[in-house]
Amino acid sequence: MRLAKYLAHAGVASRRAAERLIAAGRVTAGGVVVDDPARDVGVEDEIAVDGRPVAPEARVVYAVNKPPGVVSTAQDTHGRPTVTTLVPSQARLYPVGRLDADSSGLILLTNDGELAYRLTHPRFEVPRTYIARVDGAPVTAAALRALRDGLTLNDGPTAPAQAGLLAPDLIELTIHEGRKRQVKRMCAAVGHPVIALRRVRFGPLELGALAEGCHRRLTGIEVDRLRAATGAED
């Protein structure tokens, strides 16, 4: 296994972050600094980061129904509750992407850095579906067309979205870019600021009946489907 991928599987960091650790000279094999992220390594190579041995741990993925008020980080400097506290696990879990603190719904936690990277990087185009309760109802057909056609935001044009109306003030929106606060900014741009936002689907995985604040570990089949959604073969 390549060194950067080995570190990602060990839960140390995402693959990109692991490459930066290697470039900084913080990774050793058998006590010798390694500067090649593509070097093939295994447990027998005694890999360490900052002098601390690391080894791949069993990879796990959890689905969490994040409540409003919980932040999507592993730690928070302001003392707010974090999504990682919702899952009692010995694994070093971190969130896959983010949901705003005031948003709710499906977020994934994992110790698989490679999978997290592929699920969140825009080039893999993994879709995410949200339900937005908006102001200014009823939502017009013109607003839905604008969302479907793509909008120009302050950080550039968006890709076309799938948009449908569930109620006069309820939009179901599917995107695959994942820019910061993108759904809220898109809805505001068509004249319907978001009042409440909930993510209900991430790739092939649905939130379903999972209660707010609760979690469940994904099955092997579900994890395989997530990998397949990114084009990964294993």
- Active-site positions read 100
List Cβ neighbours of 148 (8 Å cut-off, separation of 6 or more): 160, 161, 162, 163
Q: Which residues of 80-99 are buried (b: 16+ CB within 10 A; e: fewer)?
A: eebbbebbeeebebbbbebb
Q: Which token pair is 46?
A: 């005694």
Q: 3-state class of 59 per DSSP? A: coil
Q: Which residues pair with 109 in a beta bridge?
A: 62, 95
Q: CA triplet 92, 93, 95: central angle to 5 degrees? A: 150
Question: How many Cβ atoms are within 10 Å of 210's Cβ, its own excluded?
Answer: 15
Q: At what angle do helices 113-120 and 220-229 cross, to 10 degrees?
A: 50
